[in-house]
Amino acid sequence: MSEDLYHAQLVALARAADGAGRLDAPALFGEADNPLCGDRVRMTLRLDGDRIAALAHETRGCLLCEAAAAAIARHAAGARPRDLLALGAGLRQWLNGDRPLPEPGWAELAAFAPVKSVRGRHDCVLLPFDALRTALASR
């Protein structure tokens, strides 16, 4: 079970590290910590009207956390903030087994399916979404 978590698609997503870095100011900023392990995601983003124009993240985390941050970065540009927040909330429910995979979602999200059965790692996937929510709340 443990090794199933780290299938090739997930590892590749994490290693791709889409959006890794930091946007120059002015940008919205948010960060989230996982107090259990010390992992931290810092997210910077710029808005253009009601859409995200650019997003970057500095992720000090495990492979699951890196993969989730990369997935967000891959799809953030052009997305509406409320849609991303809804996706994060839906992802949490999906990991808990309370609902199907959020639709419309991203193809990458299915890569996290093995995490569903490892409850202790759900927060690893959700940490970048927490940082995103904090950044958007700073508007």
Partner 1 sequence: MSFDLASLRAEFPILRERPGGRPIHYLDNAATAQMPQIAIDAVSRHEATSRGNIFRGIHRLAEMATEAYQKARADVARYCGVADPDEIVFTGGTTGGINLIAHSLGDGFAPGDEILVSELEHHSNIVPWQLLGERRGTVLRWLPVTDEGRLDLAALDRSVTGRTKLIALTHASNVTGAVTDIARVAKAARRVGAQVLLDGAQMAPHGPLDLPALGIDYYVFSGHKVYGPNGIGVLWSRRERLKALPPFLGGGHMIRRVTKERSTWAEIPHRFEAGTMPIAQAVGLGAALRWATGLDWEAAVTHMQRLTQRLLDGIGAVRGSRVVGPQGLQQRIGVVSFMLPGLHPHDVCQVLDGHGVALRGGHHCCQPLMDRFGIVGATRASVAPYSDDADVDAFLAGLDAVQRRLS
Q: Which is nearer to partner 1, 11 or 85 (CB)?
A: 11
Q: Shortest approach of partner 1 to residue 63 CB, angstroms? A: 5
Binding of partner 1 by 128 (CB under 8 A): no
Asked whether the beta carbons of 57 and 131 are under 8 A apart, the reply is: yes
Binding of partner 1 by 36 (CB under 8 A): yes
Binding of partner 1 by 57 (CB under 8 A): no
Q: What is the three-class DSSP state of 97?
A: coil
Of the candidates 47, 63, 89, 101, which one interacts with partner 1 according to CB under 8 A? Answer: 63
Q: Shortest approach of partner 1 to residue 129 CB, angstroms? A: 18
Tokens of 65: 């956390």
Q: Report the number of secondary-structure helices (H) and strands (E) in the chain.
A: 4, 3
Tokens of 115: 């995490």
Q: Shortest approach of partner 1 to residue 5 CB, angstroms? A: 6
What does each C-alpha distance from 130 to 3, 30, 34, 85 come to in angstroms? 26, 9, 10, 9
Binding of partner 1 by 6 (CB under 8 A): yes
**Among 36, 101, 52, which Cα is nearest to 19's?**
52
Of the candidates 19, 30, 61, 81, which one interacts with partner 1 according to CB under 8 A? Answer: 61
Binding of partner 1 by 75 (CB under 8 A): no
Residues forming beta bridges with residue 58, ordered by sequence position: 42
Chain residues in the site for partner 1 (CB under 8 A): 1-3, 5-6, 11, 36-40, 60-64, 118, 121, 124
